[in-house]
Chains A and B, each alone.
Chain A
Amino acid sequence: MTIAPPLAPGATPRRRRPRGTGTTSLTRSSGLGLGIALTWFSLLVLIPLCLVVIQSIDGGWATFRETLTDPQTAAALRLTVTQALLVTAINVVMGTLIAWVLVRDDFRGKRLLEVVIDIPFALPTIVAGLVLLSLYGPESPLGVNVANTERSVFLALLFVTLPFVVRTVQPVLMELDRDVEEAAASLGASRFTTLRRIVLPSLAPAITAGAALSFARGISEYGSLVLLSGNLPLKTEVASVRILTYIENGNEAAAASVATILLVVALAAIVLLQIVSRWVARRG
């Protein structure tokens, strides 16, 4: 099963398009369908998101600058980006390792692990927070209490972003031809050289794509942090919580400014994802 969606639509690398995929120009009924779909998509997604951007620059750059130089907001943004980067780095290593074990190894209970990988994606985020609190909170049977510390943000992000790298790397690893590795080995390449020269280059695009998704999810996380991090200003407060506070105080312009920053970062991640997918498609 492939859950957290490996690649963007329009890009299915490593699978050649069958010849019969002819596209046609719009007929009258499909044109009508497209019109309806675009209207709904605009009303639901595009217009509201544009309004956020408009709201953020409505009061000129002054509001924008003021919001971002506010020490509490700046601290929140810094914490969010740092922790998301840190978690993404861990995911790159652990996600690839997990994918490797799921594809190349075989043992009892492996199918259970497959389901376990998807749990963070299926679990409501507020429940994810509660779940982590039970092992790493005040009543921890391990005696590890990270609640209300920076570590709790790290932990929550690590939990919710677990599936991304695993699920993007796994399918690529499955299609990887093992003959090439064997050939390299028979020609005297050490296991490390084979890994570095043969395996990693083929996995790199998938790892990058997973990392981008994981980072985008990390900077936007909210639900799992609510119960776990305590939302302490300057300490454990993330950007999403900051936006919520601004909304609750009726300062929609400031909320929109922080939201715009998050949107820009998320968009950058998507663009990166598209570029990477195209690059893979060209190579494949």
Chain B
Amino acid sequence: MASRLAPPRTAGTYVRRLVVVVYLFLLVIWPVALVVQKTFEGGLDNLQTALSDPVVTDALQLTVVVALWAVAINTVFGVGISLLLVRYEFPGRGVLSALIDLPLSVSPVVVGLALLLAYGGTNGTFGPALEDAGLQIAFATPGIVMATAFVSLPLVIREIVPVLQEIGTEQEQAATSLGAGPWQTFRRITLPSIKWALVYGVVLSLARALGEFGAVKIVSGNIAQQTQTATLVVEQKYQDFEKGSAYATSFLLALIAVAALVVVTILRPKDDTDGH
């Protein structure tokens, strides 16, 4: 953006650059590199051991299923609530807008506790009634999906809302006045303009969903090959001194998350935030 006339570089420029690079190297780059290195210490052995272990593969499968459900729910909910918050006037809108952010500031452990208090099979407020009706939430997949959806709930909304505010309603109004129905207006006008924000929000949610640990640990009951997700396997394998498998599983989780981020960074048109 404003790099018309780069200011002269002084000694301070280099000192600042050095401090930042060293800080990030010690805090993030080196530790992450070490985990990658440890994963591949014996060639592909660690990955092969991990991927032939049914405990790990079942957990990975569960994680993917749960993450997809949570992301799908959050996408539909997120787009809907963003449109309502930006385009409509209703009592309590400001409060709702503030409350939407709440999940980001709640400890995962508290999320787990809250869901357990509501949907726990024996003491939960709704749990026993739901189980009588044949729906088990706590210590089963629905509970894990809910915990995951909870922690990643605001991510799509936070990306879409500013874009919706920015684009305004003129085009939508024009489409409506030309006879387009609400669905047609949304699909032809609104969706294309929020596309990138939506993709970015979805990727952030996916990364968060794949990596959730604390809330899932409490709600799932952590039963191997049944309700154990990939992050829970990492903990268990590490504590069981199967460090190779722990590193390999971590590596796979990190790979998906970081790859998704990098892909979106590359795909996303660089108009708003990047300086060049």
Interface set of A (CB-CB < 8 Å, partner B): 1-3, 5, 8-10, 12, 15, 17-26, 29-30, 33-34, 36-38, 40-41, 43-49, 51-52, 55, 94, 97-98, 100-101, 103-107, 113-127, 130-132, 134-136, 141, 158-159, 162, 170-171, 174, 177-178, 213, 216-217, 219-223, 226-227, 239-241, 243-244, 247, 252, 255-256, 259, 262-263, 266-267, 269-270, 273-274
Most buried by A among B212, B260, B261: B261
Partner of B238, one of A115, A119, A227: A227
Cα A81 to Cα B211 in complex, Å, equals: 25
Q: Please give, as numbers and ranges, the residues of chain A lying within 8 Å of B149 by CB-CB distance.
A: 44
Cα A24 to Cα B125 in complex, Å, equals: 38
Partner of B102, one of A45, A114, A240: A45
How close is B25's CB to chain A, nearest CB, in angstroms?
A: 9
How close is A31's CB to chain B, nearest CB, in angstroms?
A: 8
Q: Please give, as numbers and ranges, the residues of chain A lying within 8 Å of B265 by CB-CB distance.
A: 1, 114-115
Partner of B90, one of A1, A34, A49, A158: A34
Q: Please give, as numbers and ranges, the residues of chain A lying within 8 Å of B113 by CB-CB distance.
A: 52, 243, 247, 252, 255-256, 259
Tell me whether A98 and B20 are in contact in the complex, defined as CB-CB below 8 angstroms, given that A30-B88, A115-B261, A227-B238 are known contacts: yes
Q: Please give, as numbers and ranges, the residues of chain B lying within 8 Å of A1 by CB-CB distance.
A: 200, 264-265, 268, 273-274
Cα A202 to Cα B217 in complex, Å, equals: 42
Cα A221 to Cα B104 in complex, Å, equals: 11
Q: Please give, as numbers and ranges, the residues of chain B lying within 8 Å of A97 by CB-CB distance.
A: 16, 19-20
Interface size on B, residues (CB 8 A): 114
Tell me whether A44 and B257 are in contact in the complex, defined as CB-CB below 8 angstroms, given that A33-B80, A125-B211, A217-B105 are known contacts: no
Interface set of B (CB-CB < 8 Å, partner A): 1-3, 6-7, 13, 16-17, 19-21, 23-24, 26-32, 34-35, 38, 77, 80-90, 94, 96-119, 123, 125, 146, 149-150, 153-155, 157-159, 161-162, 165-170, 173, 182, 200, 204, 207, 210-214, 217-218, 230-232, 234-235, 238-239, 246-247, 250, 253-254, 257-258, 260-262, 264-265, 268, 273-275
A-B contact pairs, 9 of them (CB 8 A): A8-B101, A22-B173, A26-B88, A44-B146, A98-B24, A124-B211, A240-B214, A247-B112, A263-B106
Tell me whether A174 and B273 are in contact in the complex, defined as CB-CB below 8 angstroms, given that A243-B107, A266-B105 are known contacts: yes
Tell me whether A162 and B21 are in contact in the complex, defined as CB-CB below 8 angstroms, given that A217-B105, A222-B107, A256-B117 are known contacts: no
Cα A46 to Cα B32 in complex, Å, equals: 37
Q: Are B84 and A37 in contact (CB under 8 A)?
A: yes
How close is A47's CB to chain B, nearest CB, in angstroms?
A: 6
User: Residue of A at shortest CB range from B253?
Assistant: A124
Interface SS, A side: helix
Cα A30 to Cα B268 in complex, Å, equals: 31
Q: Are A45 and B109 in contact (CB under 8 A)?
A: no
How close is A240's CB to chain B, nearest CB, in angstroms?
A: 4
Q: Please give, as numbers and ranges, the residues of chain A lying within 8 Å of B87 by CB-CB distance.
A: 23-24, 30
Q: Are A130 and B234 in contact (CB under 8 A)?
A: yes
How close is A134's CB to chain B, nearest CB, in angstroms?
A: 4
Cα A243 to Cα B107 in complex, Å, equals: 10
Q: Please give, as numbers and ranges, the residues of chain B lying within 8 Å of A135 by CB-CB distance.
A: 26, 30-31, 34
Q: Are A25 and B246 in contact (CB under 8 A)?
A: no
How close is B251's CB to chain A, nearest CB, in angstroms?
A: 8
Cα A243 to Cα B109 in complex, Å, equals: 7
Tell me whether A216 and B105 are in contact in the complex, defined as CB-CB below 8 angstroms, given that A51-B114, A98-B24, A130-B246 are known contacts: yes
Cα A177 to Cα B1 in complex, Å, equals: 11
Partner of A25, one of B6, B19, B85, B88: B88
Cα A121 to Cα B106 in complex, Å, equals: 16
How close is A237's CB to chain B, nearest CB, in angstroms?
A: 12
Q: Are A222 and B20 in contact (CB under 8 A)?
A: no
Q: Please give, as numbers and ranges, the residues of chain A lying within 8 Å of B250 by CB-CB distance.
A: 124, 126-127, 130-131
How close is A206's CB to chain B, nearest CB, in angstroms?
A: 14
Q: Are A127 and B211 in contact (CB under 8 A)?
A: yes
Tell me whether A123 and B114 are in contact in the complex, defined as CB-CB below 8 angstroms, given that A9-B162, A24-B89, A113-B20 are known contacts: no
Q: Please give, as numbers and ranges, the residues of chain A lying within 8 Å of B158 by CB-CB distance.
A: 5, 9
